[in-house]
Chain A
Amino acid sequence: MAEKLLEIKNLKLYFNEGKKNEVRAVDDVSFDIYKGETLGIVGESGCGKSTTGRTIIRLYNATDGQVLYDGADVHTKKSKAELKEFNRKMQMIFQDPYASLNPRMKVLDIIAEGIDIHGLAKSPKERMERVYALLETVGLNKEHINRYPHEFSGGQRQRIGIARALAVEPEFIIADEPISALDVSIQAQVVNLLKELQEERGLTYLFIAHDLSMVKYISDRIGVMYFGKLVEIGPAEKLYTTPCHPYTKSLLSAIPLPDPEYERNRVRVSYDPKSHNYAEDEEVKMREVTPGHFVLCSEREFELIQQEK
């Protein structure tokens, strides 16, 4: 297997820790991300996907656990120069294209901000050329350069966010629902673009999304989260053909397909977390079903999964 770029070890992020309204948004999650791969993360709304991404990139301080990037702990103190370099290597594309763009800045300056901070352009001409090239890459026009974010549609704004992330030539990109706001054709363009960039530049992605057909298409491996926990992770193909955790099964049964007849006859499986009926002393942990395919389960459930195969 390829080299590890990130190791996430027993990561926890609790909001309002110790208080009555404590939220265990990320609750003891461990996984690795390999160099050059795309790891997709799916799961119920509110299960902690964005928080996981934000903690990895240090937008939140971890409550507990570790994030190692190329062996170095992300959450320990760093010098200014180290921080700057680190911020360049890891970029995030946000779920919410409205909140993440400064409404008072023109598109040109939004995209060029990172280029300026990191001194990536040698002359004003090169700076412009880079911005033009980035706009073209994400499917916007040159004419858009002097406009403000509010003058764009939702999808157009998301493309500005993608251009901004790409501008600093990162190694690792956390894409938090980067395509949810886009129409399917632009989704296809962006996904093709992300794939191309990956092949050309060896980028690594953590791709958070709801659209499971797109996630399957873009990801090498997929992790499924439920209520702050990672419940299943494995090769994309495996996860779709032989899902093991009942939540994954329920998720797959709910994917809407662009076929009215199929939709009229679809049968959805629902998931009830109580159905596990775990006993007090049962150890529930990640267990390997087939090489690289892990499921959160008890010994008893693990045996059942083995029998089903």
Chain B
Amino acid sequence: MEKILEVKDLELSFDTFAGEVKAIRGVNFDVLKGETLAIVGESGSGKSVTTKSIMRLLPDSSTRYKNGAINFDGKNLLSISEKEMQKIRGKDISMIFQDPMTSLNPTMTIGKQIMEPLLKHRGLSKKEARTNAIELLTLVGMPEPEARMKEYPHQQSGGQRQRIVIAIALACNPKLLIADEPTTALDVTIQAQILELMKDLQKKISTSIIFITHDLGVVANVADRVAVMYGGQIVEVGTVDEIFYNPQHPYTWGLLSSMPSLDLGEDKLYAIPGTPPDLLNPPIGDAFALRSEYALAIDLEERPPLFQVSDTHYAATWLLHPEAPVVTPPPAIVERMKKFPGSRYYEEKHGGES
């Protein structure tokens, strides 16, 4: 399938008083036309920074791009002018931010904020833009859309603000929509509606979506492919089934084991031990090794390359090296692997029903 975005060897740091924060340490991924790529991973692992670099929204003064390219529509977004970037931002690529309050202007009515990109990028008349804005508010499930137009962000609940942000992002039918925790502030019913809405939109105009979320349930629902980030790197990438039913990286194992299940009365939730890596002095080898019971000696010395598991599935763990010892993943993961043809725990289902 056609690639719409290509992130290559991206490496970037922030200059802070404490020193150089090495936030992104060699990230590679593609986004295909019409697909949804979910990015999951620990808080602080670099998900937002990666996507903000695509939009070129990081602070100029403290951000240092050290290596890499971000190719979109035949251009390297890291080398075009700010003026060119402005034409792309909000039109071809739009973003829904993690925190709705920072992306809404508190002094501007909601109506004005939605109409702005319509006037700027789509050249609509004021009247058309107004009608369109109300349609967008209806589309994202805002009650009383007309009345909202005159209101301000602070008069809205957390979830309502987020829906406004989503309406703005959808205004210009973008080619690439970057959604950073777009539904975290929403209740599950509205969340389900918004996810359906995004999928619909995707079918209609083949928008590609990068979807960042902590909610693995949401990932299972929306993603075609999943990239797992840890410590400024992508440690595993694969189709949604490969990541949920045949995960290979110990961090992915930990992540999938941390979810409470609805029917089990667990006494204590599994939490990955230890603290996130210090990005001022990132570990040399596998950044997760110090927190992993599966760490090998080499993990502390050398960074693992991405080993290929299938055409679509790669994981950066020395456990996949042909000479590595064979380990048994945590029980919850083995359970998952039983469902995956091709995993070594696969159990074919008996009976006709699937």
The residues of A with any CB-CB pair to B shorter than 8 Å are 15, 21, 23, 42-47, 50, 95-99, 139-141, 143, 146-147, 151-156, 177, 180-189, 191-192, 195, 210-214, 216-217, 240, 250-251, 254-263, 266, 268, 270-271
Contact = CB atoms under 8 A, between A and B. Distances in A.
A54 B54 CA distance: 38
5 contacts: A96-B99, A147-B17, A151-B14, A151-B16, A212-B262
Interface hub of A95, A210, A216 (most chain B Cβ within 10 A): A210
A45 B159 contact: yes
Contacts, number: 184
B86 interface: no
Interface string B231-262: 00000000011001100000000111011111
A141 B220 CA distance: 32
Interface stretch (B118-126, B184-192, B298-306): B184-192
Interface stretch (B42-50, B76-84, B107-115, B309-317): B42-50
The 10 closest A-B pairs by CB, nearest first: A45-B159, A155-B43, A256-B217, A258-B216, A188-B269, A46-B157, A188-B271, A254-B188, A217-B260, A189-B271
B18 interface: yes
A259 B261 CA distance: 11
B166 to A, nearest CB: 12
A177 B44 contact: no
B186 A45 contact: yes
B275 interface: yes
Interface string B84-122: 000000000000001101100000000000000000000
B158 interface: yes
Interface string B147-163: 10001000111111011
A21 B244 CA distance: 47
A183 B241 CA distance: 20
Range for the number of chain B residues in contact with chain A: 35 or more
B188 A251 contact: yes
Contact of A262 (B157, B220, B280): B220
Interface of B: 14, 16-18, 21, 40-45, 48, 98-99, 101-102, 143, 147, 151, 155-160, 162-163, 181, 184-192, 214-221, 240-241, 244-245, 254-256, 258-262, 266, 268-272, 275-276, 278, 280, 339
Contact of B260 (A216, A259, A263): A216
Given A140-B275, A213-B260, 6 more contacts: A43-B187, A50-B157, A181-B98, A185-B255, A217-B260, A258-B216
A95 B241 CA distance: 32
Nearest to A98: B99
A259 B244 contact: yes
A183 B42 contact: yes
Contacts of B260: 188, 213-214, 216-217
A181 B48 CA distance: 12
A135 to B, nearest CB: 10
B187 A42 contact: yes
Given A95-B158, A154-B181, A44 B244 contact: no
B158 A45 contact: yes
Given A181-B184, A188-B271, A256-B217, A217 B266 contact: yes
A147 B43 contact: no
B220 A257 contact: yes
Contacts of B188: 210, 212, 251, 254-256
Contacts of A177: 158, 185
B262 A156 contact: no
A139 B277 CA distance: 12
B220 A259 contact: yes
A263 B38 CA distance: 15
Contacts of B159: 44-46
A156 B276 CA distance: 10
A186 B42 CA distance: 8
A17 to B, nearest CB: 14
A43 to B, nearest CB: 6
Contact of B271 (A192, A256, A259): A192
Contacts of A185: 42, 254-255, 258, 271-272
Contact of B99 (A21, A154, A263, A266): A154
Contacts of B241: 260-261
B187 A155 contact: no
Contacts of A258: 216-217, 219-220, 244, 256, 259
B263 to A, nearest CB: 9
A153 B258 contact: no
Contacts of B14: 151
B192 A268 contact: yes
A186 B43 contact: yes
A55 B48 CA distance: 34
A177 B157 CA distance: 13
A256 B214 contact: no
A164 B173 CA distance: 42
Contacts of B147: 21
Contacts of A270: 189
A81 to B, nearest CB: 32
Nearest to B43: A155
A197 to B, nearest CB: 14
Contact of B102 (A98, A183, A214, A255): A98
